[in-house]
Structures are given as structure tokens and as C-alpha cells.
Structure 1
């Protein structure tokens, strides 16, 4: 076999792009090279794969996930992160096929810097055992080493990927928008849900009057209950109460997929089970994770189109409505010169602070980022009800998104008061084992202080220094 291969050449190009991008901070889902990088990795894993399995039930085909899973179970002395990731992927309810699990594994392994581990068992430990043919990349002695060296390079890059956004990996590598919302406790969400192949879609909204009846009933009952609680919980109640139901927020829309409710993944559930969960959690704030049915520019996410049609929804009409809303928002933004609810600042970059997300890390992190002379990026920082989002000022694409439960601290240096930063974990900060500090530069010292005050209001556990 030739010592060159088009897939290896393509992979080198994407790894080079990733290496350049990592010098300016973490590699995010929005980076344009990430999708083709994952696709070419999958193509290499599949090239020359001996996927024919003979059994008593006949001939079946297996994907690359099968040998990766087996490697984690049978090989001793492998990196602990690798085995943990395989277990997490195997038990993840968002993916149901070998293809989906393989794709989720690639994303997990890039983030955890261990994608090279299973390939090492074949290339270095000579554990091929008929998994790959000789004309494959991984099964070839020279090409396997070249591929492994590129994976080693990936293990030195910081991929900050939203791994919970996995429900459509069974069908496509394209990722939809993924949003989190917290809504007022209520008897009725005010929506009709439409399940298609056990994927729960928002089908349509109920009338305003029907929702208000249930809203005021539950509000009166909760008022009596809250009378016995302390001031903190009463304040929390009033914070949540003014939030209207789904149909009033212009956040969750027809065609969106309800992926998680109350911290529980409902992918694959039937409508009756979802209704039972809502009934069980009645009276609690409603936390939802939602897969948006469209992108910010208004185009419908391709993965949902066939399923929306099964609900007898007019996809063309929906797309026209989404695009009109996106155009209206864009025009409003251009008139005001800033994003509604956001402030224009410079994003300076990020740096890993290890396993500690304490405020004491911020002073060193700000100095580390500022001393690297990175090119700053104009962004719009939006401090919302449940988290912080950072959008590129040029095209409003999402750069960062963290919920307050992921943020462990925020602050600034006394000698650089126009710089500010916050530290976030790769999951909820109470259980996270890896934290990253994100550094910004404000227009003025007053703006820096105001943003920190807003962040501190967002999560009561945060301590900050001025």
C-alpha cells in the first residue's frame, strides 16, 4: 500500500486548522473545521474495517464502535479516561445505534484527549486480530503510525464540546442548536407534544386563556406553601413567578425537540411517560434542555425535517417564519448597535486552570492570557436568566455558553481592572474535575465592574474580587 492516503492528507489539514485555532482559546462546536474533522476521523476508522460477522443468526455487519467497546472491556492497562468514556457512551440514552455511539465516542475522546488510546492497541500493541484489512490505514504499519501521530497532536488541543447535544448523532454529524431554559412552576406547560419515533416535539401551543387558569391556581397554592419558608426561598419564588409559559417566551417554538426535562433525558420516551413525569414534578420549576428546530439564520435543522413532516407540519412555512424572525432580529440589532441584553467586550482567550475553579485562580489566569499577546475578538456578552452567552459581534454566532451551575467563580485583578474573567467547569462546578478560565477586556473599568455584579447576581455561590 502507498505511504500516502487522501484521508490522511485531509486529516492533516484539519488538525493544522485546529492547532492554529487552539492558540486563541478552546475549540468549540461552532468552529467550521470541527465537522469535517470528525467526518474524516470516522472515515479512517471505517476504511478497511472487517465488518462482516458470521454467527448462528446469519451474517451481520458491525461498525468501528464494536471493536472500541470490546477493547475497553478486554484490554488491561489502558488509560482510565478511555474506559470511563466508553462506559458513559454505552449507557447514554441519547444514542441508540452503533453509528451514534461511535460518533459520540469521537466527540468525548477529543474533549478528554484520549482518542489515540484504542488506535495504540492495534498500531503499537499489534492487537489487530482481523479487525482491519491490510489495505486499511489503521491496519497498515506506516499509515497507522502517521494516523497515530495526528491523534497524539489532537490530544494536546483543548476541545470544549457540548457533549449533551447528542440526540441526532444516530442520523447525522450536523449538530443543532442546544438551549437550556428554566420556567415558572405551573400545572400546565401550555403546549401540545407530538412524539415521532419516540422523539418528543413541541407540536403547537394551547390558547392563552387555558394556560392562565392553571397558572393562577398553582400560584395561589404555592403562595400558601411559601409562607412557611425563609426569605431566600420566597425571593427565589418571586424570581421565577414572572416568567411566562412557553408560548409567551419566544424561546421555545413549534418544531423544537424536548431533549431533557427536570434533569432527565426523555429521548426515546412515549408521550404518556413524559406526561407522568410532568405530573410527578408538578409545583417545581420546570428545567428543560431543548434541541432547536432551526439555526440562528432561520434555516430548519435538516435532522428534524422528515420527522416534522410526519407531524403534518408545513416545513416551508415554518422556515419562512424562522427566517423572518432572524431577519427582524438582525435589523433591530443593526439599528441599536448592540445586542439586546448584551454588552460589547473583547474576548481575550481562555486557559485551563486544572481541577480547581476557585476565585484565587483568576489572578494568574488573567495574567497568563494577557501575556500571550493573543488577538482579541469583539464579542457580545449576554448575562441571561440561567447562564452566560458570548456571541461574535460580526455575525452573532455563539462562541461560549455556560449555565450558572457550571460557573464556579468570577473576578478581576486589582492592577488590570478593565479585564474580567469567569471560571467554568466541563459540567456542574460542584462535580467537575476540569476548569477553564475565560478572560475578557471591557470598554471601561465601570463596565467591567457592572458585568461582574451581574454575574454575581446570577449565581449566589460566586465570590468575586474588585
Structure 2
């Protein structure tokens, strides 16, 4: 009877579970972490440590030795995976880099090629014990390579930006992106702990408090693509000051895991934060926060991709001269209505950074405007309180020479009209550009 290795038997069960899930494998697949952990155990089994060296050898060092160029002097496909892993600034350890490489190899369907290349590189293969390692046992290698081929025929769509905790765990946190319009103050109190940037509190009337997207206990992972992993004190503030007046894209790691419990790798750090700051209150996940009573979704709203979409009537647009402040809004609305333009049934999406309006019949975009372009917003007076409008510069880059225009729309009710005006105002009142 051929010998069996319990690791390979368990890996086979896990691969079959992944396969039976069907479709694309994403970060949320319940079998993904177990499969990756078993692959890691196979790659570590029998890996010998160098004599008289203080550096602990891991399988990442094995893969790192496989870097090579093709006949034209370009990096091979495997070397590109290694290089992408090497330059990732969110990883600090060999363990984290090895895990990142495994996930990237699953996406690129390159894991069988990596192992084949390793087997044909004697100077690296010698690091493994022939008595213990699966990689140096011919009877074990055949079923192992078969399992890798099964994995290479599956589609993996993994978020490679969510990798800051691979140094510590195969379990990944909930990772989301928070987009902020150019604002005077984001309004977050930060605490640097163990190379992480924690949100300690939100300042009243700051943009983060208004948007209710981020909560105390969450981690700022990156800002506009700049990683804050292993940050020192005030580094996030330096990045924010450099980007003052620009739109911000903030990568956020939630303190709460997918199942609603505290994300396990954060338990000790959150406990330390609470010890230092007894008044700190871990807020609920933003998706669990109840909106204010006057902001709850009405029947004509369509929740969609963290935005609110309203069914409205597009009434038209008119040039209103060289003034675009709130004092001219009522006259501007009258100017639009007097043009008697054909109205359109439309969907108005109030997003985090801008507005979009789409024709409900043709699905064509009617307009898209970012909040910094808007100079004022408000609703009409008597007799129709369901009409609202906003003014903006024709060309925001040179508003002093092009004048202003007004766009008017009709909501389905007076209450909804007020709500839309409030949401648009909340979006643009924090921006840096004013008329």
C-alpha cells in the first residue's frame, strides 16, 4: 500500500470543498483560509534552518531564489509575481510575503509552475529534508501536483490590497474604501499602536462624522495609495497635509469581522487602546448604524453602492449670468421653468463625492457634477415645494469668466425634496472651493 500523508488528505478535502462552492473564489469563501494554511504547511514541512544563522528561513526565501529572466532579458511570469510581492509595502515579514505570494499565485494560476521550478532548482530543493519533506518524496509529489492543477483551473478573485494582516494571520479583516471630497477637516483623532493607525474618536462636524462611514477602533490602512503600515507618529497627518484640497481615497480596515465579532488579530490591540483611553467607545459597523429619523429611506429611494438614488423629474438647465450664490437661486429656478424644456423621468444618485442623473428610459447620463462645482442648492418657494435646484460654474476651472448655470429637478414629495437638498448640501458644504 502506498504511504499517505495526512496533510495531503486534508488538503484534498479542502480543495474539493472549494471546487464544490462553484463560481469565483473570493476573500469571503469559508474554505479559502484553510486551503491556504494547508498549502503553507506543505511548503514548510521539512524545510531546514541554516546552521549558525540568526535569520529564520521560510518558504518565501525559497520562492525568492527562483527569480530569473527570459531570453530577452525580461523578468519571467514567476519572477514578476515574486517582484510584486517583494515591493509590497504592507508586508513586513517573510511569513507575510509568502502568504501574499501564495494568494497572488492562485489568482495568476501559477502555483504548479512555481513548484515545478522549485523542484528543478537543486540549490533550493536541498533546503528541504528528504526524509520529512513532501516536496522531496516522489510518491507524495504526484497527488500534490494533481491538487495544484485542480486549483489552477479555478477562478480566484482576491483583494490583494487587503494584505496588511498577512504577517499575523490568514484571516483577513473587512476592507473598505472611504472617498472624501476636498474638505477642510476630515475630523479623526488617531492613535499609533504597533505600526497601525487606529481611529480613536471622530470630531463633531468633521467630514468623517458627517459621513458616518468610519468608526472608533477602525484602522486607516492607506490614503490615496500611500500605505500607512508600520507608521510612526504623525505620519498620517503628514500625508493628509500634503493632500490638502484634494479628493481623498482612504483604505479602512474594520475592527469588526465579517461574522460581526471582533476581528481576532485586533483583540489585544483594542484592549490596549481601551486601557489607555477608558472613554473610547467602539462604534457599530457603519452598515449597522441607523440613519437619523428624517433621513431614512423613502419609498422612491433605491439604496445602491453606498449611495441613495431618488426618482425625480429633470426639468432643465439655464445660464443665469455671473452670480451663482443662494440669493439668485429662486430667480434661477424661474428662468429654467420659463424655458419650458421637455422634462425627463430620471434617477438622481447622491454619491459620496458627486451627483449623477440618469434618464430612466434611455439609461443615458443626463449630468454628473462633483460637489466642489456646486455653489448653492435649495428648493423652490410657493406654489411648488417639490422643485429643487442647484447652481454651479459652467467651467469650474475658470468660474470667474464663464458665469453660472442652474439645474432644476422635481422630487416626488415635499419631504423628499427637503431630504435631497439636505444631502447635497451636506456633500458640498465641507469642500474647499466656494463661490
TM band (smaller chain)? 0.5 to 0.7
In the alignment, is the contact (CA less than 8 A) between 1:113 and 1:156 conserved in 2? yes
- The match for 1:383 among 305, 314, 324 is 305
Residue 266 of structure 1: aligned partner: 228
Tell me how far apart the structure 2 counterparts of residues 165 and 149 of structure 1 sit (CA, whole Å).
Answer: 29
- Listed as ranges, the gaps of 5+ residues in structure 2 are 309-359, 371-435
Rate the CA distance shift 1:140–1:181 in 2: closer, same or farther, 3 A: same
Does 2:64 correspond to 1:69? yes
Measured after TM superposition, the shift of residue 75 of structure 1 is 9.8
Tell me how far apart the structure 2 counterparts of residues 295 and 316 of structure 1 sit (CA, whole Å).
Answer: 23
Does 2:1 correspond to 1:5? no
Tell me how far apart the structure 1 counterparts of residues 251 and 128 of structure 2 sit (CA, whole Å).
Answer: 39
Residue 356 of structure 2: aligned partner: none
Measured after TM superposition, the shift of residue 316 of structure 1 is 12
Equivalent residues in 2 for 1:139-218, closer than 5 Å: 139-208=136-205, 211=206
Q: Secondary structure at the match of 2:190?
A: strand
- The match for 2:77 among 68, 78, 81 is 81
Measured after TM superposition, the shift of residue 170 of structure 1 is 0.5
Residue 225 of structure 1: aligned partner: none
In the alignment, is the contact (CA less than 8 A) between 2:215 and 2:284 conserved in 1? no
Equivalent residues in 2 for 1:14-413, closer than 5 Å: 14-22=14-22, 25-50=23-48, 52-55=49-52, 58-73=53-68, 80-123=76-119, 129-134=125-130, 135-208=132-205, 211=206, 245-312=207-274, 321-322=283-284, 341-342=302-303, 382-384=304-306
Equivalent residues in 2 for 1:410-425, closer than 5 Å: none
In the alignment, is the contact (CA less than 8 A) between 1:191 and 1:205 conserved in 2? yes
Q: Secondary structure at the match of 1:202?
A: strand
Q: Secondary structure at the match of 1:312?
A: helix
Task: State the Cα deviation string for residues 140-190 of structure 1 (Å, max 9, x = none).
Answer: 112122211211221111100001000011011101100011112123211
Equivalent residues in 2 for 1:439-454, closer than 5 Å: none
Task: State the Cα deviation string for residues 274-328 of structure 1 (Å, max 9, x = none).
Answer: 2121111111112111111113553111122222233236899856x538x8777
Aligned residues: 314
Rate the CA distance shift 1:141–1:126 in 2: closer, same or farther, 3 A: farther
In the alignment, is the contact (CA less than 8 A) between 1:298 and 1:326 conserved in 2? no
Which is worse superposed, 73-82 or 35-44?
A: 73-82
Q: Secondary structure at the match of 2:85?
A: helix
Rate the CA distance shift 1:44–1:451 in 2: closer, same or farther, 3 A: farther
Rate the CA distance shift 1:297–1:114 in 2: closer, same or farther, 3 A: closer
Rate the CA distance shift 1:6–1:302 in 2: closer, same or farther, 3 A: same
Q: Give the structure-2-normalised TM-score.
A: 0.63
Q: Give the structure-1-normalised TM-score.
A: 0.59
Tell me how far apart the structure 2 counterparts of residues 269 and 455 of structure 1 sit (CA, whole Å).
Answer: 44
In the alignment, is the contact (CA less than 8 A) between 1:193 and 1:271 conserved in 2? no
Tell me how far apart the structure 1 counterparts of residues 279 and 8 of structure 2 sit (CA, whole Å).
Answer: 40
Tell me how far apart the structure 1 counterparts of residues 95 and 148 of structure 2 sit (CA, whole Å).
Answer: 20
Measured after TM superposition, the shift of residue 123 of structure 1 is 3.8
Q: Secondary structure at the match of 1:304?
A: helix
In the alignment, is the contact (CA less than 8 A) between 2:192 and 2:232 conserved in 1? yes
